[in-house]
Structure 1
Protein backbone atom coordinates (compact mmCIF):
# COMPACT_ATOMS: atom_id res chain seq x y z
CA UNK A 1 0.00 0.00 0.00
CA UNK A 2 2.84 2.37 0.88
CA UNK A 3 4.55 1.69 -2.45
CA UNK A 4 1.29 2.33 -4.31
CA UNK A 5 0.89 5.68 -2.53
CA UNK A 6 4.49 6.64 -3.37
CA UNK A 7 3.98 5.60 -7.01
CA UNK A 8 0.74 7.65 -7.24
CA UNK A 9 2.50 10.69 -5.78
CA UNK A 10 5.43 10.21 -8.19
CA UNK A 11 3.13 10.23 -11.23
CA UNK A 12 0.84 12.95 -9.86
CA UNK A 13 3.70 15.28 -8.89
CA UNK A 14 4.16 16.75 -12.39
CA UNK A 15 0.45 17.62 -12.49
CA UNK A 16 0.65 19.36 -9.11
CA UNK A 17 3.96 21.01 -10.03
CA UNK A 18 2.41 22.72 -13.05
CA UNK A 19 1.76 26.22 -11.84
CA UNK A 20 0.07 29.06 -13.60
CA UNK A 21 2.54 31.21 -15.45
CA UNK A 22 2.51 34.80 -14.31
CA UNK A 23 3.55 37.98 -16.06
CA UNK A 24 4.70 41.26 -14.58
CA UNK A 25 5.00 44.56 -16.40
CA UNK A 26 8.58 45.76 -15.80
CA UNK A 27 8.55 49.01 -17.75
CA UNK A 28 6.07 50.98 -19.78
CA UNK A 29 5.82 53.92 -22.12
CA UNK A 30 2.31 54.90 -23.16
CA UNK A 31 1.97 57.95 -25.40
CA UNK A 32 -1.30 59.46 -26.60
CA UNK A 33 -1.34 61.75 -29.63
CA UNK A 34 -3.91 64.44 -30.32
CA UNK A 35 -4.03 66.76 -33.30
CA UNK A 36 -5.39 70.25 -33.68
CA UNK A 37 -5.13 72.22 -36.95
CA UNK A 38 -2.59 74.52 -35.25
CA UNK A 39 -0.47 71.94 -33.39
CA UNK A 40 0.07 68.35 -32.35
CA UNK A 41 0.39 67.13 -28.77
CA UNK A 42 1.84 63.96 -27.28
CA UNK A 43 1.39 63.01 -23.64
CA UNK A 44 3.51 60.23 -22.16
CA UNK A 45 3.27 58.08 -19.05
CA UNK A 46 5.85 55.69 -17.65
CA UNK A 47 3.69 54.85 -14.62
CA UNK A 48 1.64 51.90 -15.91
CA UNK A 49 1.63 48.72 -13.89
CA UNK A 50 0.44 45.35 -15.11
CA UNK A 51 -0.06 41.69 -14.35
CA UNK A 52 -0.95 38.65 -16.36
CA UNK A 53 -1.98 35.16 -15.33
CA UNK A 54 -2.07 32.12 -17.60
CA UNK A 55 -4.15 29.10 -16.68
CA UNK A 56 -5.38 26.20 -18.81
CA UNK A 57 -3.93 27.68 -22.00
CA UNK A 58 -5.59 31.10 -21.58
CA UNK A 59 -3.87 34.28 -20.36
CA UNK A 60 -5.63 37.28 -18.81
CA UNK A 61 -3.80 40.62 -18.63
CA UNK A 62 -4.52 43.90 -16.87
CA UNK A 63 -2.60 47.17 -17.32
CA UNK A 64 -3.42 50.30 -15.30
CA UNK A 65 -2.00 53.83 -15.39
CA UNK A 66 -2.96 56.96 -13.45
CA UNK A 67 -4.53 59.57 -15.73
CA UNK A 68 -2.48 62.28 -14.01
CA UNK A 69 0.78 60.49 -14.93
CA UNK A 70 0.57 61.58 -18.59
CA UNK A 71 2.91 64.49 -19.29
CA UNK A 72 2.63 66.59 -22.45
CA UNK A 73 5.30 69.08 -21.43
CA UNK A 74 2.72 71.76 -20.57
CA UNK A 75 1.32 71.57 -17.02
CA UNK A 76 -1.71 73.75 -17.90
CA UNK A 77 -2.61 71.46 -20.81
CA UNK A 78 -2.15 68.39 -18.58
CA UNK A 79 -4.44 69.83 -15.90
CA UNK A 80 -7.03 70.63 -18.57
CA UNK A 81 -6.74 67.07 -19.91
CA UNK A 82 -7.43 65.70 -16.41
CA UNK A 83 -10.45 68.00 -16.15
CA UNK A 84 -11.85 67.12 -19.61
CA UNK A 85 -11.42 63.37 -19.04
CA UNK A 86 -12.92 63.54 -15.53
CA UNK A 87 -9.63 62.30 -14.09
CA UNK A 88 -10.59 63.25 -10.53
CA UNK A 89 -13.66 61.01 -10.73
CA UNK A 90 -12.00 58.28 -12.84
CA UNK A 91 -8.28 58.51 -11.94
CA UNK A 92 -7.11 55.28 -13.60
CA UNK A 93 -7.12 54.14 -17.22
CA UNK A 94 -7.17 50.34 -17.53
CA UNK A 95 -6.61 47.95 -20.40
CA UNK A 96 -7.74 44.33 -20.23
CA UNK A 97 -7.09 41.64 -22.79
CA UNK A 98 -6.99 37.85 -23.17
CA UNK A 99 -4.64 35.72 -25.20
CA UNK A 100 -4.12 32.05 -25.82
CA UNK A 101 -0.98 31.11 -23.90
CA UNK A 102 0.68 30.04 -27.16
CA UNK A 103 0.47 33.65 -28.41
CA UNK A 104 2.81 34.84 -25.65
CA UNK A 105 5.71 33.43 -27.69
CA UNK A 106 4.70 34.70 -31.13
CA UNK A 107 6.51 37.58 -32.88
CA UNK A 108 3.14 39.20 -33.63
CA UNK A 109 0.27 39.34 -31.17
CA UNK A 110 -3.28 40.21 -32.21
CA UNK A 111 -5.82 40.72 -29.46
CA UNK A 112 -9.04 42.42 -28.47
CA UNK A 113 -8.71 45.20 -25.91
CA UNK A 114 -11.18 46.62 -23.40
CA UNK A 115 -10.09 50.09 -22.32
CA UNK A 116 -11.73 51.90 -19.41
CA UNK A 117 -11.11 55.63 -19.48
CA UNK A 118 -13.14 58.67 -18.38
CA UNK A 119 -15.86 56.40 -16.99
CA UNK A 120 -16.42 54.61 -20.31
CA UNK A 121 -15.33 51.27 -21.73
CA UNK A 122 -14.28 51.04 -25.37
CA UNK A 123 -13.66 47.78 -27.20
CA UNK A 124 -10.95 47.52 -29.85
CA UNK A 125 -10.77 44.36 -31.96
CA UNK A 126 -7.76 42.67 -33.56
CA UNK A 127 -5.13 45.15 -32.43
CA UNK A 128 -1.69 43.97 -33.54
CA UNK A 129 1.50 44.31 -31.51
CA UNK A 130 5.06 43.29 -32.34
CA UNK A 131 6.94 41.21 -29.77
CA UNK A 132 10.65 40.65 -29.25
CA UNK A 133 11.64 37.93 -26.79
CA UNK A 134 14.96 37.69 -24.95
CA UNK A 135 14.88 34.98 -22.31
CA UNK A 136 12.03 35.72 -19.92
CA UNK A 137 11.76 39.32 -21.15
CA UNK A 138 9.06 40.17 -23.71
CA UNK A 139 9.18 43.59 -25.38
CA UNK A 140 5.81 44.60 -26.90
CA UNK A 141 5.26 47.57 -29.26
CA UNK A 142 2.26 48.78 -31.20
CA UNK A 143 -0.43 51.42 -31.53
CA UNK A 144 -4.01 51.42 -30.28
CA UNK A 145 -6.27 53.36 -32.68
CA UNK A 146 -8.30 55.05 -29.91
CA UNK A 147 -10.70 57.85 -30.66
CA UNK A 148 -11.97 60.55 -28.29
CA UNK A 149 -15.66 59.91 -28.97
CA UNK A 150 -15.34 56.25 -27.85
CA UNK A 151 -14.99 57.60 -24.31
CA UNK A 152 -17.77 60.22 -24.63
CA UNK A 153 -15.26 63.02 -24.05
CA UNK A 154 -16.16 66.44 -25.35
CA UNK A 155 -13.16 67.27 -27.57
CA UNK A 156 -11.13 70.14 -26.11
CA UNK A 157 -10.84 73.14 -28.37
CA UNK A 158 -8.20 75.74 -29.03
CA UNK A 159 -9.37 79.05 -30.49
CA UNK A 160 -12.87 77.48 -30.65
CA UNK A 161 -11.62 74.72 -32.98
CA UNK A 162 -11.83 71.22 -31.42
CA UNK A 163 -9.09 68.62 -31.62
CA UNK A 164 -9.47 65.81 -34.14
CA UNK A 165 -11.32 62.71 -32.96
CA UNK A 166 -8.33 60.39 -33.48
CA UNK A 167 -6.23 59.77 -30.37
CA UNK A 168 -3.77 56.95 -31.21
CA UNK A 169 -1.86 55.52 -28.26
CA UNK A 170 1.66 54.21 -28.81
CA UNK A 171 2.45 51.27 -26.54
CA UNK A 172 5.96 50.19 -25.56
CA UNK A 173 5.97 47.58 -22.77
CA UNK A 174 8.46 45.17 -21.28
CA UNK A 175 7.02 42.14 -19.51
CA UNK A 176 8.70 39.20 -17.84
CA UNK A 177 7.24 35.79 -17.16
CA UNK A 178 7.74 33.55 -14.19
Structure 2
Protein backbone atom coordinates (compact mmCIF):
# COMPACT_ATOMS: atom_id res chain seq x y z
CA UNK A 1 0.00 0.00 0.00
CA UNK A 2 1.56 3.33 -1.07
CA UNK A 3 2.19 5.88 1.62
CA UNK A 4 0.18 9.09 1.39
CA UNK A 5 2.16 12.26 0.87
CA UNK A 6 2.35 14.49 4.00
CA UNK A 7 0.03 17.12 2.49
CA UNK A 8 -2.69 14.52 1.94
CA UNK A 9 -2.85 13.86 5.64
CA UNK A 10 -4.11 17.40 6.23
CA UNK A 11 -6.54 17.70 3.36
CA UNK A 12 -10.13 18.49 4.38
CA UNK A 13 -11.18 20.57 7.42
CA UNK A 14 -8.30 21.59 9.61
CA UNK A 15 -8.31 21.08 13.36
CA UNK A 16 -8.46 24.84 13.91
CA UNK A 17 -11.48 25.12 11.62
CA UNK A 18 -13.27 22.36 13.52
CA UNK A 19 -12.53 24.03 16.85
CA UNK A 20 -13.71 27.38 15.51
CA UNK A 21 -16.96 25.86 14.26
CA UNK A 22 -17.55 24.19 17.62
CA UNK A 23 -17.01 27.48 19.42
CA UNK A 24 -19.43 29.29 17.10
CA UNK A 25 -22.09 26.62 17.61
CA UNK A 26 -21.56 26.71 21.37
CA UNK A 27 -21.90 30.49 21.51
CA UNK A 28 -24.99 30.34 19.33
CA UNK A 29 -26.55 27.82 21.71
CA UNK A 30 -25.77 30.05 24.69
CA UNK A 31 -27.25 33.06 22.92
CA UNK A 32 -30.41 31.14 22.07
CA UNK A 33 -30.72 29.94 25.67
CA UNK A 34 -30.35 33.48 26.95
CA UNK A 35 -32.86 34.73 24.40
CA UNK A 36 -35.46 32.37 25.85
CA UNK A 37 -35.07 33.74 29.37
CA UNK A 38 -37.10 36.73 30.52
CA UNK A 39 -37.66 38.71 33.69
CA UNK A 40 -41.15 39.81 34.70
CA UNK A 41 -42.16 42.29 37.40
CA UNK A 42 -45.44 41.75 39.24
CA UNK A 43 -48.15 44.21 38.24
CA UNK A 44 -49.76 45.29 41.51
CA UNK A 45 -52.74 46.81 39.66
CA UNK A 46 -53.78 43.39 38.33
CA UNK A 47 -52.44 40.96 40.95
CA UNK A 48 -54.55 39.79 43.90
CA UNK A 49 -53.91 37.46 46.84
CA UNK A 50 -56.86 36.27 48.95
CA UNK A 51 -57.00 34.28 52.16
CA UNK A 52 -60.21 32.59 53.27
CA UNK A 53 -60.81 31.76 56.93
CA UNK A 54 -63.54 29.69 58.53
CA UNK A 55 -65.56 30.08 61.71
CA UNK A 56 -68.40 27.88 63.00
CA UNK A 57 -71.08 30.13 61.54
CA UNK A 58 -69.47 31.50 58.40
CA UNK A 59 -66.42 31.89 56.16
CA UNK A 60 -64.79 35.18 55.19
CA UNK A 61 -62.17 36.36 52.73
CA UNK A 62 -59.43 38.94 53.13
CA UNK A 63 -57.97 40.46 49.98
CA UNK A 64 -54.69 42.20 49.21
CA UNK A 65 -53.96 44.09 46.02
CA UNK A 66 -50.58 45.25 47.29
CA UNK A 67 -48.59 42.42 45.70
CA UNK A 68 -44.95 42.73 44.64
CA UNK A 69 -42.38 40.35 43.22
CA UNK A 70 -40.35 39.14 40.29
CA UNK A 71 -40.20 36.15 37.95
CA UNK A 72 -37.25 34.72 36.07
CA UNK A 73 -38.84 32.78 33.22
CA UNK A 74 -37.56 30.21 30.75
CA UNK A 75 -40.56 28.97 28.73
CA UNK A 76 -38.49 26.30 26.98
CA UNK A 77 -37.15 24.97 30.29
CA UNK A 78 -39.75 25.76 32.99
CA UNK A 79 -37.79 23.89 35.67
CA UNK A 80 -35.11 26.61 35.53
CA UNK A 81 -37.65 29.38 36.18
CA UNK A 82 -37.88 31.10 39.58
CA UNK A 83 -40.22 33.50 41.39
CA UNK A 84 -40.45 35.63 44.53
CA UNK A 85 -43.80 37.07 45.70
CA UNK A 86 -44.22 39.42 48.68
CA UNK A 87 -47.40 40.82 50.31
CA UNK A 88 -47.71 43.13 53.34
CA UNK A 89 -49.72 41.46 56.12
CA UNK A 90 -51.55 44.69 56.95
CA UNK A 91 -52.76 45.07 53.36
CA UNK A 92 -55.42 42.32 53.64
CA UNK A 93 -58.95 43.73 53.84
CA UNK A 94 -61.92 41.50 54.72
CA UNK A 95 -64.47 44.31 54.82
CA UNK A 96 -64.69 44.11 58.62
CA UNK A 97 -62.35 46.48 60.44
CA UNK A 98 -62.63 44.71 63.82
CA UNK A 99 -61.80 41.34 62.29
CA UNK A 100 -58.88 42.80 60.33
CA UNK A 101 -57.45 44.39 63.49
CA UNK A 102 -57.65 41.01 65.27
CA UNK A 103 -55.84 39.30 62.41
CA UNK A 104 -53.10 41.95 62.42
CA UNK A 105 -52.75 41.49 66.17
CA UNK A 106 -52.43 37.68 66.18
CA UNK A 107 -50.06 37.72 63.20
CA UNK A 108 -48.00 40.48 64.87
CA UNK A 109 -48.02 42.47 61.65
CA UNK A 110 -45.88 45.24 63.16
CA UNK A 111 -43.09 42.80 63.95
CA UNK A 112 -43.52 40.53 60.91
CA UNK A 113 -44.92 42.85 58.24
CA UNK A 114 -44.31 40.77 55.10
CA UNK A 115 -45.52 37.40 53.80
CA UNK A 116 -43.02 36.05 51.28
CA UNK A 117 -43.17 33.06 48.95
CA UNK A 118 -39.98 32.02 47.17
CA UNK A 119 -39.99 29.09 44.75
CA UNK A 120 -37.39 26.36 45.21
CA UNK A 121 -38.61 23.97 42.50
CA UNK A 122 -40.82 24.31 39.42
CA UNK A 123 -41.73 21.25 37.36
CA UNK A 124 -44.04 21.24 34.33
CA UNK A 125 -47.02 18.90 34.72
CA UNK A 126 -48.57 19.89 31.42
CA UNK A 127 -46.83 22.52 29.33
CA UNK A 128 -46.44 23.57 25.71
CA UNK A 129 -47.06 26.16 23.06
CA UNK A 130 -50.57 27.59 22.91
CA UNK A 131 -52.27 29.66 20.21
CA UNK A 132 -50.48 32.63 21.72
CA UNK A 133 -47.32 31.93 23.73
CA UNK A 134 -47.18 29.08 26.25
CA UNK A 135 -49.72 27.62 28.68
CA UNK A 136 -50.06 24.74 31.10
CA UNK A 137 -49.71 23.64 34.69
CA UNK A 138 -46.62 23.53 36.93
CA UNK A 139 -45.91 21.68 40.16
CA UNK A 140 -44.58 24.30 42.56
CA UNK A 141 -42.49 23.90 45.70
CA UNK A 142 -41.44 26.93 47.67
CA UNK A 143 -40.51 28.46 51.01
CA UNK A 144 -43.31 30.45 52.62
CA UNK A 145 -42.24 32.95 55.30
CA UNK A 146 -45.07 34.13 57.55
CA UNK A 147 -45.09 35.34 61.15
CA UNK A 148 -41.33 34.89 61.44
CA UNK A 149 -41.47 31.22 60.43
CA UNK A 150 -40.44 29.63 57.13
CA UNK A 151 -41.93 26.34 55.93
CA UNK A 152 -42.10 24.43 52.67
CA UNK A 153 -45.32 24.64 50.67
CA UNK A 154 -46.25 22.46 47.71
CA UNK A 155 -49.01 23.22 45.22
CA UNK A 156 -49.81 23.36 41.51
CA UNK A 157 -50.22 26.51 39.45
CA UNK A 158 -51.90 27.40 36.17
CA UNK A 159 -49.37 29.37 34.11
CA UNK A 160 -49.75 31.31 30.88
CA UNK A 161 -47.05 33.34 29.11
CA UNK A 162 -48.27 35.51 26.23
CA UNK A 163 -48.62 39.10 25.03
CA UNK A 164 -45.69 40.29 27.11
CA UNK A 165 -47.17 39.00 30.38
CA UNK A 166 -47.05 35.98 32.65
CA UNK A 167 -50.26 35.01 34.45
CA UNK A 168 -50.19 32.57 37.36
CA UNK A 169 -52.94 31.22 39.59
CA UNK A 170 -52.21 29.00 42.58
CA UNK A 171 -54.22 27.81 45.58
CA UNK A 172 -52.96 26.13 48.72
CA UNK A 173 -53.87 25.76 52.43
CA UNK A 174 -51.69 26.80 55.36
CA UNK A 175 -51.96 25.99 59.05
CA UNK A 176 -51.97 28.92 61.50
CA UNK A 177 -50.58 26.64 64.20
CA UNK A 178 -47.67 25.58 62.03
CA UNK A 179 -46.68 29.24 61.68
CA UNK A 180 -47.15 29.82 65.41
CA UNK A 181 -50.15 32.10 64.92
CA UNK A 182 -52.72 32.22 67.72
CA UNK A 183 -56.17 31.47 66.35
CA UNK A 184 -58.37 34.52 67.04
CA UNK A 185 -61.87 34.20 68.48
CA UNK A 186 -64.85 35.64 66.68
CA UNK A 187 -67.84 35.97 69.02
CA UNK A 188 -67.70 32.77 71.08
CA UNK A 189 -65.59 30.44 68.90
CA UNK A 190 -62.05 30.32 67.56
CA UNK A 191 -61.49 30.37 63.83
CA UNK A 192 -60.39 27.17 62.06
CA UNK A 193 -56.69 26.38 61.99
CA UNK A 194 -56.54 26.18 58.20
CA UNK A 195 -56.76 29.21 55.95
CA UNK A 196 -56.89 28.89 52.18
CA UNK A 197 -54.72 31.02 49.92
CA UNK A 198 -55.77 32.00 46.39
CA UNK A 199 -53.11 33.93 44.44
CA UNK A 200 -53.72 35.46 41.00
CA UNK A 201 -50.47 37.02 39.88
CA UNK A 202 -49.80 39.02 36.71
CA UNK A 203 -46.27 39.98 35.73
CA UNK A 204 -45.13 42.29 32.94
CA UNK A 205 -42.19 40.85 31.01
CA UNK A 206 -39.34 43.33 30.78
CA UNK A 207 -37.90 44.29 27.42
CA UNK A 208 -34.33 43.31 26.56
CA UNK A 209 -31.74 45.87 27.74
CA UNK A 210 -30.54 48.44 25.25
CA UNK A 211 -27.15 48.18 23.54
CA UNK A 212 -25.81 50.93 25.82
CA UNK A 213 -26.82 48.97 28.92
CA UNK A 214 -25.30 45.72 27.58
CA UNK A 215 -22.02 47.43 26.72
CA UNK A 216 -21.80 49.19 30.05
CA UNK A 217 -22.60 52.57 28.52
CA UNK A 218 -24.13 55.53 30.36
CA UNK A 219 -27.40 54.99 32.17
CA UNK A 220 -30.25 57.40 32.68
CA UNK A 221 -31.05 58.66 36.18
CA UNK A 222 -34.18 56.51 36.16
CA UNK A 223 -32.25 53.36 35.26
CA UNK A 224 -29.57 54.13 37.84
CA UNK A 225 -32.20 54.49 40.56
CA UNK A 226 -33.77 51.19 39.56
CA UNK A 227 -30.43 49.40 39.66
CA UNK A 228 -29.75 50.74 43.15
CA UNK A 229 -33.14 49.83 44.64
CA UNK A 230 -34.14 46.80 42.60
CA UNK A 231 -33.82 43.12 43.46
CA UNK A 232 -30.50 41.32 43.40
CA UNK A 233 -29.61 38.09 41.66
CA UNK A 234 -28.61 35.08 43.70
CA UNK A 235 -25.34 34.01 42.09
CA UNK A 236 -25.91 30.35 42.92
CA UNK A 237 -29.45 29.89 41.62
CA UNK A 238 -30.19 32.99 39.57
CA UNK A 239 -33.09 33.79 41.86
CA UNK A 240 -34.17 37.40 41.96
CA UNK A 241 -33.75 38.44 45.57
CA UNK A 242 -35.61 41.47 46.98
CA UNK A 243 -33.36 43.90 48.91
CA UNK A 244 -34.93 42.92 52.23
CA UNK A 245 -33.74 39.31 51.82
CA UNK A 246 -30.13 39.66 50.73
CA UNK A 247 -27.85 36.81 51.66
CA UNK A 248 -26.69 36.96 55.25
CA UNK A 249 -29.40 39.28 56.52
CA UNK A 250 -31.42 38.03 59.45
CA UNK A 251 -35.13 37.36 59.30
CA UNK A 252 -37.31 38.81 62.08
CA UNK A 253 -37.00 35.54 64.04
CA UNK A 254 -33.20 35.64 63.93
CA UNK A 255 -32.73 33.14 61.11
CA UNK A 256 -30.40 33.90 58.24
CA UNK A 257 -32.09 34.68 54.95
CA UNK A 258 -32.69 31.62 52.84
CA UNK A 259 -33.05 29.19 55.76
CA UNK A 260 -35.98 26.79 55.42
CA UNK A 261 -37.49 24.91 58.27
Bin of the TM-score, shorter chain as denominator length: 0.7 to 0.9
> Following the alignment from structure 2 to structure 1, what is the Cα–Cα distance between the partners of residues 123 and 39?
11
Structure 1, unaligned runs of 5 or more? none
Residue 16 of structure 1, CA deviation: 6.0
SS in 2 for 1:83: helix
Partner of 1:29: 48
Partner of 2:186: 158
Partner of 1:77: 99
> Following the alignment from structure 1 to structure 2, what is the Cα–Cα distance between the partners of residues 136 and 99?
24
> Following the alignment from structure 2 to structure 1, what is the Cα–Cα distance between the partners of residues 170 and 137?
10
Q: Tell me if the contact between 2:67 and 2:86 (Cα under 8 Å) persists in the aligned partners.
A: yes
SS in 2 for 1:150: coil
Cα distance change on mapping 1:52 and 1:133 into 2, 3 Å: closer
Q: What's the TM-score, normalizing by structure 1?
A: 0.82
Residue 31 of structure 1, CA deviation: 0.5
Is the counterpart of residue 174 in structure 1 residue 191 in structure 2? no
Q: Tell me if the contact between 1:32 and 1:168 (Cα under 8 Å) persists in the aligned partners.
A: yes
Partner of 1:45: 64
Further displaced range: 168-177 or 50-59:
50-59
- Aligned 1:11-160 pairs, distance under 5 A: 11=24, 14=28, 15=30, 18=34, 20-26=37-43, 27-53=46-72, 58-99=80-121, 105-125=134-154, 127-160=155-188
Say how many residue pairs are matched.
171
Structure 2, unaligned runs of 5 or more? 1-16, 129-133, 207-261
Structure number with the bigger relative contact order (C-alpha 8 A, sep ≥ 6) is 1
Structure with greater Cα Rg: 2
RMSD, aligned CA: 2.7
Q: Tell me if the contact between 2:64 and 2:91 (Cα under 8 Å) persists in the aligned partners.
A: yes
